[in-house]
Amino acid sequence: MKLLKKPFHWGVATSALQTEGASYLDGKGPSIWDEFSLRKGKIAGGHTPEIANSFYYRYEEDLDIVQALHIPNFRFSISWPRVLPQGTRNINQKGIDFYDRLIDACLERGITPWVTLYHWDLPLQLELNGGWNNRDILSWFSEYVELMLQKFGDRVSNWMVLNEPLVFTGAGYFLGIHAPGKKGMNSFLSAAHHASLAQAVGIRQIKEHNALFNVGTTYSCSWITPFSDSPNDQQAAVRVDALMNRFFVEPLLGYGYPVKDLPFLKEIEKFYQKDDETLLKATPDFIGIQNYTREVVKHSWFTPYINAKLIDARTRQVPHTLLNWEIYPEGIHSLIHKYAAYPEVKNIIVSENGAAFPDHVTGNEIKDSQRLSYLKNYMLHINRARMDCSKLCGYFVWSLHDNFEWAEGYYPRFGLVHIDYSNQKRTIKESGYWYKNHILNQKYEDKIQHEHQLFNTKEER
């Protein structure tokens, strides 16, 4: 049996916009999602994040649940407009005080905080000034990062710079289905280039502040399979893989954008300035991969730029979640090895993985057998990867509790903890209790393996 060589970080993840609520209270400025959610027809059910889970007021209760479930690591994001309401300059002390209390409350409970700096809630004022389409965002972001390091760097050592840049640039600046609702290829490419620069800027800035900090950034990724063995479908899968899985990580690692496999990316060069090829590169301590499904790809002459289309799970009649995402646990193992093959990647953390299914409420019990089955099956491949990939060092469930799921509103529930939105009552689901037991069992097995390794080392001597 192969022995484990490094600590493994079991955790759970959330984000500010999706959970905090208090959107307009205690000096917080509006975000692009606060404004976007007020536009007619943009969010399912007309929902808004104004109240969400009231995490801003109930964080201690939620951290008590994290502690009770023996989850040692808690990933959350800081709301940029809560600490800098206009995006720059004027600090909102009440916002700083909230995150001071949150971080201290984590540490008091023996929970390690993992801070995501940007999880999509750009200050609205910065978007009015061009947002991710304006190269000035690099200086705005750097100012924000520096403030966070000054205020919280004495207690936080684990940092994630951006959350899923392909999603917030693609859905928000190309398709227009996410905030800020912009459309068009030029909008997308400029936002994407500036986000690529920002991830490198953030990593370098944090490491310069303290070289011992554990710094990375996170990517949405899906295992890509061609619909058939035809050359057209095979090449379509290569293009989709370049867009979904390589577009942002390869510039960071020094390879540049995958233009060879995705020729339309050549147009991104119009947004280059001097030394950008060097500025795009940084050295993360880890990358976070966020995997929920796989995509099956077919060639399509009618799809511009990429000439490919995704064949959805219902059409293929395969098991799927509430959001029509295929349940394909083998994909997470394949993706871990895909990213581990980059020599520049030091460590890999699965920073999000989970599923939305209907919950069945019976009194004070929440039966979520489909989510439980999903997590068990994915965990088989996580544990397999722990044995055969030395770079894998963490896994975070998405998410701690049900929350505001962007354009889908409150309909899809991903949480280990059920939220009754009529009264904000928290109830741990069956999957939450299972995850607790899984963590405890894994810690015990890791301890036994470590002791076995020490014993063998002594025997060899």
Q: Is 271 helix (H, G, I), strand (E, B) or coil?
A: helix
Among the listed residues 78, 72, 116, the one whose alpha carbon sits nearest the alpha carbon of residue 394 = 72
Q: What is the mean pLDDT of the chain?
A: 96
Q: Is the pTM of this model over 0.85?
A: yes
pLDDT tens digits for range 240-258 = 999 999 999 999 999 999 9
Delineate the domains of the chain, giving CATH numbers in brackets. 9-460 (3.20.20.80)
pLDDT tens digits for range 340-383 = 999 999 999 999 999 999 999 988 899 999 999 999 999 999 99
Residue written as tokens 């581990």? 340
Q: Kindly tell me if the per-residue pLDDT of 454 is higher than 80.
A: no
pLDDT tens digits for range 395-443 = 999 999 999 999 999 999 999 999 999 999 999 999 999 999 999 999 9
Q: How confident is the model at residue 459 (pLDDT cuts 50, 70, 90)?
A: low
Among the listed residues 277, 284, 278, 262, the one whose alpha carbon sits nearest the alpha carbon of residue 213 = 284
Mean pLDDT, range 130-158, rounded to an integer: 98
Among the listed residues 259, 275, 146, 147, the one whose alpha carbon sits nearest the alpha carbon of residue 192 = 259
Can 295 be counted among the known catalytic residues? no
Which is it for strands 308-310 and 294-299: parallel, antiparallel or unpaired? Answer: antiparallel
- The widest CA-to-CA distance across the chain, in whole angstroms, is 72
Q: What is the number of other CB atoms lying within 10 angstroms of the CB of residue 2?
A: 9
How far is residue 385's CA from residue 365's CA, in Å, rounded to a whole number?
Answer: 33
**Phi and psi angles of residue 343, each rounded to the nearest 5 degrees, phi first:** -60, -30
**Which of 127, 164, 250, 295 is labelled catalytic?**
164
Can 365 be counted among the known catalytic residues? no
Among the listed residues 87, 161, 89, 163, the one whose alpha carbon sits nearest the alpha carbon of residue 130 = 87
Instruction: Check: CB of residue 124 under 8 Å from CB of residue 35.
Output: yes
Q: Kindly tell me if the per-residue pLDDT of 1 is higher than 60.
A: no
**Which of 250, 326, 352, 405 is labelled catalytic?**
352
